[in-house]
């Protein structure tokens, strides 16, 4: 495996409830989080999205990306628009609920905006493109068609594609059949799948005993790495599946970005030439560190202490 990764999706303003009753202001989004953690792992990472132009929130997101070493050449800006916003409510077990205000965010029209050809060109020049089910869930049918065409062109140019299913029912307005149809169109494009078992069972109506990783591998991926809430990883590679037991589960402070950080460390390790098993260990180590901190992106001074 080799080189640069372009992540595609949406970065939003994050409101996180604090102990005193107020809210802290941060920034995050699943694929953006992965891009940041990829950069911290030493990978040449870039991000493709659309933001507002000149407002303090869009500027802060750009500043954060650049400070983290994430390239922003494929970020489009739209005057008069604002990025989306989400608030996190965390329960006593560290599990979180998200509340979104994102309907008018320009990221939703990325492939329909003036300048979208810049994103398409960046995809074809990257060695990897990374996106998620949330990326799919924010685009219109027109946007999805343009995105699919861009992914096919990138694959033809030699780009590999990594996809985290990250299924969120609310993004599909309860229309699970449409979600399934869209996933079926995009799954065959990926050579690396990084799903969550719970999400996939929910999306496809599968039970605990079903071979979820094997079903996904049937779409043509070379490698499937299925996360199962910190308990174990199902790794499908070289035509067979095996289960990797993880160390004893820790009590999280905040599970936000657990999967995003795992994906980053896993992909970075594979790019560096490590085996899938070694990459799983790297992914688990980073995810365990991230869930012991509040918010999607752990401050760099605290992340530097990660294993």
**Residue numbers annotated as active site:** 260
Q: Which two tokens stand for residue 129?
A: 């493109």
**CB under 8 Å to 99, separation ≥6 — which residues?**
86, 87, 88, 89
**How far apart, in whole angstroms, are the C-alpha atoms of residue 221 and residue 237?**
9
The dihedrals phi and psi of 88, each to the nearest 5 degrees, come to -115, 130
Query: Cα separation of 47 and 87, whole Å?
Result: 22
The angle, 0 to 180 degrees and rounded to 10, between the axes of the packed helices 276-290 and 258-271 is: 150
Q: How far is CA 106 from CA 76, 83, 86, in A?
A: 9, 7, 15
Q: Name the nearest CA neighbour of 263 among 180, 165, 159, 144.
A: 165
Q: What does the block give as tokens for 278?
A: 């070694």
The answer to whether residues 124 and 91 touch, using CB atoms and an 8 Å cutoff, is no
For residue 301, give every residue at least 6 positions away whose Cβ sits within 8 Å of its Cβ, in sequence order, or none: none
Q: 116-125 and 141-156 helices cross at what angle (nearest 10)?
A: 30
The answer to whether 168 and 45 have CB atoms below 8 angstroms apart is: no
């Amino acid at each position: 495996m080799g080189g640069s990764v372009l992540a595609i999706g949406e970065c939003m303003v994050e409101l996180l409830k604090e102990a005193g009753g107020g809210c802290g202001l941060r920034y995050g989004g699943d694929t953006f989080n992965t891009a940041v953690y990829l950069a911290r792992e030493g990978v040449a990472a870039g991000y493709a999205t659309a933001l507002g132009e000149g407002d303090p929130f869009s500027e802060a997101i750009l500043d954060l990306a650049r400070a983290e070493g994430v390239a922003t050449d494929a970020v489009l800006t739209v005057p008069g628009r604002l990025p989306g916003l989400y608030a996190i409510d965390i329960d006593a077990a560290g599990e979180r609920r998200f509340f979104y205000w994102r309907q008018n965010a320009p990221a939703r029209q990325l492939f329909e905006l003036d300048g979208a050809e810049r994103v398409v060109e960046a995809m074809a020049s990257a060695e990897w493109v990374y996106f998620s089910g949330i990326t799919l869930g924010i685009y219109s049918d027109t946007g999805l068609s343009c995105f699919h065409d861009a992914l096919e062109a990138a694959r033809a140019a030699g780009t590999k594609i990594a996809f985290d299913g990250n299924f969120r029912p609310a993004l599909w307005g309860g229309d699970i059949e449409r979600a399934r149809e869209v996933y079926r169109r995009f799954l065959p494009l990926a050579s690396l799948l990084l799903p969550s078992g719970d999400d996939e069972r929910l999306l496809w109506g599968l039970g605990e005993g079903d071979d979820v990783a094997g079903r996904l591998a049937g779409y043509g991926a070379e490698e499937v790495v299925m996360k199962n809430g910190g308990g174990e990883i199902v790794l499908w590679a070289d035509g067979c599946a095996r289960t990797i037991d993880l160390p004893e589960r820790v009590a999280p402070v905040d599970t936000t970005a657990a999967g995003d950080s795992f994906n980053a460390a896993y992909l970075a390790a594979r790019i560096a030439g490590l085996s899938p098993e070694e990459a799983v260990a790297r992914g688990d180590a980073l995810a365990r560190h991230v869930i012991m901190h509040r918010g999607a992106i752990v401050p760099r001074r605290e992340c530097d202490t990660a294993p």
